[in-house]
Amino acid sequence: SQQGEEDPQALSIQEGENATMNCSYKTSINNLQWYRQNSGRGLVHLILIRSNEREKHSGRLRVTLDTSKKSSSLLITASRAADTASYFCATADTGRRALTFGSGTRLQVQP
Amino acid sequence: NAGVTQTPKFQVLKTGQSMTLQCAQDMNHNSMYWYRQDPGMGLRLIYYSASEGTTDKGEVPNGYNVSRLNKREFSLRLESAAPSQTSVYFCASSVLSAGGPSDTQYFGPGTRLTVL
């Protein structure tokens, strides 16, 4: 079963705009991670936020986590064509030694 | 430092054939994982090995077997391939300290398997 569910499933924006993706999950977690997958490639880790953190930044990425609502968001600022990819959230569920991935958001950045 | 490598990159099988997917990591990670990804979907965990000498089932283990050959290598075997196993298979590894929560995973490039 998919723990994290991303919203929207697909997003198309212009270069320079911001992109926001949301992830909801169901169980108690230790951390939540975001990954990027370029077409035909493996996943690449972007950022990890722990359950006791509310916000984290890495370059043009900003991640928030609301454990009371069991949700997270990923914001990519000043997007570039190279940001075109699928983005997945993954939860490290309490008591489980493996990640659970969502179904992903496909982001298209138009030049 | 190659990271996580997988062989082969592509494979076509006939129903009932068997094959082994190979995965190796050179990052001295404790844990290794096998996932499958079907079109338009996220990753589903098949099996994982939290440490050398241990393996555990994930969400979709039926039809697969695994071997943690040593700390570096983790193989996935399909004993009798079925069309439903057509998918892209990813191997991943992570540090995963003893008793710790799942941490950052590093992925290989994937194996694209078609079962006719």
Residue B34 forms contact with A (CB below 8 Å): no
Provide the β-strand partners of residue A20: A75
Residue A104 forms contact with B (CB below 8 Å): yes
Which chain B positions have a beta carbon within 8 Å of A88's beta carbon?
A: 42-43
- Minimal Cβ distance to A103: which of B35, B41, B48: B41
Q: Is the pLDDT of residue A1 over 50?
A: no
Average pLDDT, chain A: 92
pLDDT tens digits for range B31-88: 999 999 998 778 999 999 988 889 999 999 999 999 998 999 999 999 999 999 999 9
The answer to whether the Cβ–Cβ distance between A48 and B92 falls below 8 Å is no
Residue A111 forms contact with B (CB below 8 Å): no
How many A-B residue pairs are in contact by the CB < 8 A criterion?
Answer: 66
Rounded CA separation A71/A102 (Å): 12
Residue B70 forms contact with A (CB below 8 Å): no
pLDDT tens digits for range A20-68: 999 999 989 999 999 999 998 999 999 999 999 999 999 999 999 999 9
Closest alpha carbon within chain B to A10: B40
Q: Locate tokens 């098949």: which residue?
A: B46
Band of the pLDDT at B95, cuts 50, 70, 90? Answer: confident
Residue B59 forms contact with A (CB below 8 Å): yes
Closest alpha carbon within chain A to B112: A40
Rounded CA separation A38/A27 (Å): 28
- Pairing outcome for strands B111-115 and B10-13: parallel
The answer to whether the Cβ–Cβ distance between B102 and A31 falls below 8 Å is yes
Rounded CA separation B21/B29 (Å): 19
For the stretch A26-48, what's the b/e string if a residue is b when 16 or more beta carbons lie within 10 angstroms of its beta carbon? Answer: eeebbbbbbbbbeeeebbebbbb
The predicted pLDDT at position B97 comes to: 66
The answer to whether the Cβ–Cβ distance between A101 and B44 falls below 8 Å is yes
